[in-house]
Amino acid sequence: MTLTHPLWLVAGVALAAAFLWLMRLGSRRAAASALAYSDLAFFETATGTRWNPALLIALACAVGIVALGAALASPRFVATLPMRGVAVVLCVDTSGSMRATDVAPSRSEAAAAAVRAFVDAVPDGTRLGIVAFSSGAGVVAPLSDDKDALRDAIGRIPPPNGGTAIGDALVIAARQLPPSGRRAIVLITDGVNNLGSDPAQVAPQIGAAGIEIDTIGIGTNDSGQFIPGTDQTASIDEDGLRQIAAAGRGTYARADDAGTLRSHLAALAASTTRVRRRIDASLPLAVGGGAVVILALVGGMLAGRFP
């Protein structure tokens, strides 16, 4: 939190302290005057009270004065708030290379678990969709804010097989999104495109439409493992994924294990559906402080404690 005019807070604290001192001084004088016309029994009764209503009223006034001083100091703080009208499509690679086990238990299983974590992490009301792609691309789940339906759809993501058509997946994902509002595509793939539309040409067009593209590269380049059923080594095209993310004004992250993949998707769930805003707390403090002071003074007068 920051204070634009911190001296006002100092002044409020000083004024509250002075008010309490004056109230205490007045209370002592009133007690001394009462004792001059009283006896010992009255003194014991007066000083034996466990709590003093006047003191509580004075403390309430002091708190209100400090709050008013804080309001004049113009406090501001940054808060992370969920955005409304957010739509995100998750593009999940289901090509044959996702059978690779350099990410345990396999790239495809780790991706499905991370997508489930993404669904769990976004605020309620966020609309999500799922597109799966290999040699072609298809919608597994249309945009919906029904998290249970989306979790069920994750189980329908096809098993890994075939080539990799990243560009086609991006085109279909963009078509699922509304024409305006906060929109994003999250691409989870090993990035080795070999079929369909060229993602290097598709991504800039999507980015120009105001749709963010975030990419997560899953896998390694130096594991020495082969893709099951082939003689091809498991690899990842990081340069291609960086280019796609840059064209879509998004971010790129690499995940070479399941835990890192879930962490990256959790971070994207926050960044694509929430926004950091600077909030001015002056008005709430002013209203609250003023209300406390007024209520305390009115209560004191009704109780015969003021003036």
- The tokens for 145 are 């804010």
Which DSSP letter does residue 178 get?
A: -
Question: Looking at residue 170, what is its pLDDT?
Answer: 95
**pLDDT tens profile 14-66:** 887 887 777 777 666 655 555 555 555 555 555 554 556 666 777 877 787 78
Q: Closest Cα to residue 121, out of 254, 248, 245, 274? A: 274
pLDDT in tens, 226-277: 566 565 666 678 888 999 999 999 888 888 777 877 777 777 777 666 656 6
Please, are residues 89 and 186 in contact by the beta-carbon 8 Å criterion? yes
CA 278 to chain centre: 13
Task: Classify residue 97 by burial, with Cβ atoms within 10 Å: 0-12, 13-18, 19+.
Answer: buried
155-to-142, 158, 163, 172 alpha-carbon distances in Å: 15, 8, 21, 20
261 burial (CB, 10 Å; 0-12 / 13-18 / 19+) is buried
Report whether 75 contacts 170 (CB < 8 A).
no
Task: Please give the mean pLDDT across all residues of the chain.
Answer: 79
Question: What residues does each domain of the chain span?
Answer: 2-78+279-302, 81-277
For the ranges 182-186, 219-223, 292-296, the maximum mean pLDDT occurs at: 182-186
pLDDT at 122: 85
Token duo for residue 74 = 């113009």
Higher pLDDT: 66 or 221? It is: 66
**Predicted pLDDT of residue 47:** 52
What does the pLDDT look like over 119-175, one tens digit per residue?
988 888 889 999 999 989 999 999 998 999 999 999 999 998 888 899 999 999 999
Cα dist. 208→36, 58, 109, 205 in Å?
86, 61, 33, 5
CB contact at 8 A, 263 and 246: no
Interatomic CA distance for residues 132 and 160, integer angstroms: 10
Longest dimension (CA), the chain: 107
The CATH class of 81-277 is alpha beta
The one-character DSSP state at 250 is -
Over residues 284-300, the mean pLDDT reads: 76
pLDDT at 153: 93
The residue ranges of DSSP E strands in the chain, in sequence order, are 2-3, 75-82, 87-93, 127-133, 137-144, 183-189, 212-218, 252-255, 274-280
pLDDT of residue 106: 87
For residue range 55-108, what is the model confidence (pLDDT) as tens digits?
A: 677 787 778 778 777 778 777 766 665 567 789 999 999 988 888 888 888 888
Of 117 and 270, which is predicted with more confidence? 117
Rounded Cα distance between 260 and 110, Å, is 10
Question: Quick one: DSSP state of residue 135?
Answer: S
Of 85, 81, 90, which is closest to residue 116 (Cα–Cα)?
Answer: 90
* CA atoms of 98 and 34, how far apart (whole Å): 89
Residues 186-211 as b or e (16 or more Cβ within 10 Å = b): bbbbbbbbebbbebeebbbebbeeeb
Structure confidence at residue 195 (pLDDT): 87
Question: What pLDDT sits at residue 29?
Answer: 62
DSSP symbol at 94? -
Q: What is the pLDDT of residue 38?
A: 54
